[in-house]
Amino acid sequence: MARAGVVMEVGSDGVAVITMSNPPVNALGPSIFAGLKEKYKEAMKRNDVKAIVLTGDGGKFSGGFDINVFAEVHKTGDVSILPDDSINLLASTIEDANKPSVAAIQGLALGGGLELAMCCHARISTPDAQLGLPELTLGVIPGFGGTQRLPRLVGLPKAVEMMLVSGHTLLSKSIRAKEGTEYGLVDATTSPENLLIVSRRWALEIAEGSKPWISSLKRTDKLTSLSEARKILHVSGKHAPNMPQNQVCLDAIEEGIVFGGYAGLLKVSAFTFTSAVLCTSFGVRVFVRPVLSYIMPHQKEARLFKEIILTTTARSLVHAFFAERATSKVPNVSDVGLKSSHIRKVAVIGGGLMGSGIATALILNGLLVILKEIDSTLLQRGIKTITANLEGLMKKGSLTLDKKNEALTLLKGVLDYSEFKEVDMVIEAVIEKVPLKQSIFNEIENICPRHCILATNTSTIDLNIVGERTKSQDRIVGAHFFSPAHVMPLLEIVRTEKTSPQVILDLMTVGKIIKKVPIVVGNCTGFAVNRTFFPYNQAAQMLLHLGVDLYRIDRVISNFGMPMGPFQLQDVAGYGVALAVKPIFASSFEGRTFETDLLELMVQSGRNGKANGKGYYLYQSGSKPKPDPSIQTVIDESRKRTLITSGVKPVSVSDQEIVEMIFFPVVNEACRVMDEGVVVRSSDIDVASILGMGFPKYRGGLVFWADTIGSSYIYSKLKKLEDAYGRFFTPSKYLEERAANGLPLSSANSTPSQALQARL
């Protein structure tokens, strides 16, 4: 089936197989809903149909409700385009039908997809299918009865765990079907070949009465007492600062627990309420609530859904979803019919922190790795770091011992280039020294096969300089990983004018294989991410030199949603790289950097950050970083030496001003990055800021957030700051023009910027 739609085939056994098709993930859009209603109506009418199997085409059940509709709601503000199908289709037509339905699940059943499966009377699945309700990661809540049916199928604690978002990346926990059988979400697992056979038989057995006919919404056996439930909901709600969707979801669940899931779907009457209350044994509180709130838990869910979809959080997270997917669309690379080459073996040069992290990411995802170091001590240290990285993942529960051992078999340490004759890609990850990198590229060009990609992990150095002594400019590309490379999800792919589209496509493919989100950017000092964010630390340092307490700055920025404040981040990253790139940024961005000796003074006073336990904070293993009062002498000395603050009284700033003074210069630099065509589209900066710098995803990314504030406000603030503190804050031409014309900063969002188009 190529077009979106639903088909039905009735077998001689009396089973109607209804198949949804909407490639690539069978998203539930209007044509699928219309098709489901039509086919169900027909199946109910036909005398030769005894039971129904509901499934998805192309090896997938469904990736859920069509998120494009959310984007449309955000564009128009019109929530009436959202279907009200939780009652009409899922409950009345499927769950309450007089013929049973079995969901045959393969690949994935997510969001509305799983909700559809949960209203069937049984679920048969392939063992590895991914099942989950990730709606909260989009800032909304399940809207097709998931808040009611999931707790009834798997119990409240597991349901809450599967739905709520937590952590900085706002993930909700999906499960594999194998685990689903333990919790009762899945009735049986089977191979893809047998899926329809087993599902048909199961459906007939329900119809004949030899298997139970279960309506999820009527079940109460997995629900705990109301007081227990409230405890679970209360504890879960506590971990949700800045995420209104968590509390809203808990409210919808609680409503259903108090009033009963099934009662919510039937016409409201005293009898239905009473029977719901009795069968769930949930106390007297029901009777003291105002009558209106008795009406239908599903109405509660649907009503909350329509409210929450309009929040800034939902807008931001839906934007982030599409922004992340847009990164794989690179003009003249992904749209010119190129096919990815098969990259099997990768050499990593340098077993330091970055090289080991990169090697870890590669072997974890099945690629053969040759790790090269200059002597056996360094090589052993690199291999030890890789082993420790894998053990760290095991401790977190994300890797089994077998997988760890399997990964290590893919790693080979070497001290010379003899193995490089067969590699498909080299990633150089040595220290940031131009002559060293140049001589490495010169050597590997001669040794590696002609097809081999020559990548550097430099975070700053111009790629044309790195490859200056080679003739293979078309194969040279930047593969900028973020530390720790086996954990951080971003891969910045840096191309020069000469890098071939095939090389870019191949590196993007490797990026996807190792589960990174690759963004393709142009070549300039700091590339897109470090360049955009260089004013971040510098603005924080400027505020410190203006007399603002460093721990307050960190607190304000953490409260804004960054994983930690800028000073703690400097401690964690170490000062080495910052000191090394300081002169590079100062010369490339002359006049718009903040000059201070702070880091030099820190190092002179024996502080190296977290690495030696002493930085802006004091670090002891097992306890949280502690402010260090003795840092004041270093700060006083630095303030004395810094032109901007000598003789000036400490400034008084509000928390909002701290956020603005730190992030507006970052937004300003992002404007230059967009204007120069360093990124393909502004939303790539959003993705990079979220995945590379920890910018809060629920704010949609740096540029999206800036647009919620408005270009003219940001411009006027920067102008005032420029008057007070100089060129560090001077608004860019791009920002000035956008502000003058009342335009958002992201208007080049879906199309490549003009500067880039001119270059391509």
Ligand X SMILES: C[C@H](O)CC(=O)SCCNC(=O)CCNC(=O)[C@H](O)C(C)(C)COP(=O)(O)OP(=O)(O)OC[C@H]1O[C@@H](n2cnc3c(N)ncnc32)[C@H](O)[C@@H]1OP(=O)(O)O
Closest of 469, 483, 480 to residue 524, by C-alpha: 480
Cβ atoms of residues 206 and 100 within 8 Å: yes
Kindly state the tokens that stand for 53.
Answer: 């199997």
Least distance from C-beta 517 to ligand X, angstroms?
Answer: 10
Residues 678 and 759: their CA atoms lie apart, in Å, by 10
Least distance from C-beta 61 to ligand X, angstroms?
Answer: 10
Q: Which is nearer to ligand X, 146 or 478 (CB)?
A: 146
H or E element: which one contains 53? strand 51-56
* Residue indicated by tokens 């998931």: 146
Least distance from C-beta 115 to ligand X, angstroms?
Answer: 6
Give me the catalytic one of 38, 72, 135, 595.
135
Residue 495 β-bridge partners: 522
Note whether 65 binds ligand X by CB under 6 A. Answer: yes
Figure out which of the listed residues 6, 32, 94, 110 binds ligand X, where binding follows CB under 6 A.
Answer: 110
Least distance from C-beta 338 to ligand X, angstroms?
Answer: 17
Stretch that binds ligand X, among 131-139, 476-484, 568-576, 739-747 (CB under 6 A): 131-139
Query: Residue 116 carries which side chain, given as an amino acid letter?
Result: L
Decide: helix, strand or coil at residue 539. helix
Q: Which is nearer to ligand X, 142 or 625 (CB)?
A: 142
Q: Which is nearer to ligand X, 108 or 361 (CB)?
A: 108
Least distance from C-beta 107 to ligand X, angstroms?
Answer: 9
Q: Which is nearer to ligand X, 146 or 566 (CB)?
A: 146
Cβ atoms of residues 463 and 494 within 8 Å: yes
Figure out which of the listed residues 35, 134, 155, 535 binds ligand X, where binding follows CB under 6 A.
Answer: 134
- 115 annotated active-site: yes
Exposure string (b/e) for 336-367, b if CB count within 10 Å is 16 or more? eeeeebebebbbbbbbeebbbbbbbbbbbbeb
Stretch that binds ligand X, among 59-67, 405-413, 596-604, 650-658 (CB under 6 A): 59-67
Note whether 16 binds ligand X by CB under 6 A. Answer: no
Figure out which of the listed residues 68, 191, 612, 716 binds ligand X, where binding follows CB under 6 A.
Answer: 68
Between the alpha carbon of residue 200 and those of residues 44, 115, 205, the distances in Å are 16, 20, 9
Decide: helix, strand or coil at residue 347. strand
Note whether 115 binds ligand X by CB under 6 A. Answer: yes
Q: Which is nearer to ligand X, 138 or 153 (CB)?
A: 138
Residue 15 β-bridge partners: 51
H or E element: which one contains 736? helix 733-740
Cβ atoms of residues 93 and 37 within 8 Å: yes
Note whether 87 binds ligand X by CB under 6 A. Answer: no
Sign of the CA dihedral running 578, 584, 586, 590: negative
Residue 5 β-bridge partners: 21
Q: Which is nearer to ligand X, 66 or 506 (CB)?
A: 66
HSE of 275 in the Cβ direction (CA atoms, 13 Å)? 11
Stretch that binds ligand X, among 109-117, 187-195, 331-339, 737-745 (CB under 6 A): 109-117
- What is the side-by-side strand order in the sheet with 101-105? 5-10, 15-21, 51-56, 101-105, 122-125, 188-189
Cβ atoms of residues 61 and 105 within 8 Å: yes
Figure out which of the listed residues 35, 56, 64, 184 binds ligand X, where binding follows CB under 6 A.
Answer: 64
Give me the catalytic one of 42, 72, 115, 254.
115
Note whether 112 binds ligand X by CB under 6 A. Answer: yes
Stretch that binds ligand X, among 62-70, 216-224, 334-342, 659-667 (CB under 6 A): 62-70
Site for ligand X in 23-52 (CB under 6 A): 24-25, 27
Sign of the CA dihedral running 591, 593, 720, 709: positive
Figure out which of the listed residues 142, 677, 701, 752 binds ligand X, where binding follows CB under 6 A.
Answer: 142
Number of residues in contact with ligand X under rule CB under 6 A:
22
Q: Which is nearer to ligand X, 149 or 480 (CB)?
A: 149
Q: Which is nearer to ligand X, 4 or 599 (CB)?
A: 4
Query: Residue 182 carries which side chain, given as an amino acid letter?
Result: E
Figure out which of the listed residues 303, 325, 720, 733 binds ligand X, where binding follows CB under 6 A.
Answer: 325
Q: Which is nearer to ligand X, 64 or 665 (CB)?
A: 64
Stretch that binds ligand X, among 10-18, 103-111, 534-542, 548-556 (CB under 6 A): 103-111
- What is the side-by-side strand order in the sheet with 368-372? 411-414, 368-372, 345-349, 425-428, 453-456, 476-481, 490-495, 517-522
Cβ atoms of residues 735 and 714 within 8 Å: yes
Q: Which is nearer to ligand X, 58 or 710 (CB)?
A: 58
- Backbone φ, ψ for residue 339 (5° rounding): -110, 140
Q: Which is nearer to ligand X, 73 or 543 (CB)?
A: 73
Stretch that binds ligand X, among 138-146, 272-280, 399-407, 722-730 (CB under 6 A): 138-146
Figure out which of the listed residues 33, 40, 61, 144 binds ligand X, where binding follows CB under 6 A.
Answer: 144
Decide: helix, strand or coil at residue 370. strand
Note whether 63 binds ligand X by CB under 6 A. Answer: yes
Residues 36 and 113: their CA atoms lie apart, in Å, by 13
Least distance from C-beta 295 to ligand X, angstroms?
Answer: 20
Q: Which residues contact 152 (CB under 8 A, 6 or more apart)?
A: 216, 217, 219, 220, 222, 223, 261
Closest of 499, 480, 483 to residue 491, by C-alpha: 480
Q: Which is nearer to ligand X, 65 or 594 (CB)?
A: 65
Decide: helix, strand or coil at residue 412. strand
Cβ atoms of residues 212 and 206 within 8 Å: yes
Q: How far is CA 120 from the centre of its chain?
A: 31
Residues 35 and 48: their CA atoms lie apart, in Å, by 20
Least distance from C-beta 64 to ligand X, angstroms?
Answer: 3
Note whether 67 binds ligand X by CB under 6 A. Answer: yes
Stretch that binds ligand X, among 141-149, 196-204, 306-314, 684-692 (CB under 6 A): 141-149
Residue with smallest beta-carbon separation from ligand X: 111
Note whether 662 binds ligand X by CB under 6 A. Answer: no
Note whether 511 binds ligand X by CB under 6 A. Answer: no
Stretch that binds ligand X, among 21-29, 91-99, 612-620, 643-651 (CB under 6 A): 21-29
Least distance from C-beta 512 to ligand X, angstroms?
Answer: 8
Stretch that binds ligand X, among 108-116, 400-408, 653-661, 711-719 (CB under 6 A): 108-116
Least distance from C-beta 498 to ligand X, angstroms?
Answer: 28
Note whether 318 binds ligand X by CB under 6 A. Answer: no
Q: How many residues does the chain have?
A: 760
Exposure string (b/e) for 608-643, b if CB count within 10 Å is 16 or more? ebbeeebbbbbbeeeeebeebeebeebbeebbebbe
Q: Which is nearer to ligand X, 65 or 619 (CB)?
A: 65
Note whether 57 binds ligand X by CB under 6 A. Answer: no
Least distance from C-beta 317 to ligand X, angstroms?
Answer: 10
**Burial of 212 by CB count in 10 Å (0-12 exposed, 13-18 middle, 19+ buried)?**
exposed
Give me the active site residues, please: 115, 135
Q: Which residues of this chain interact with ligand X, rule CB under 6 A? A: 24-25, 27, 63-68, 108, 110-112, 115, 134-135, 138, 142-144, 146, 325
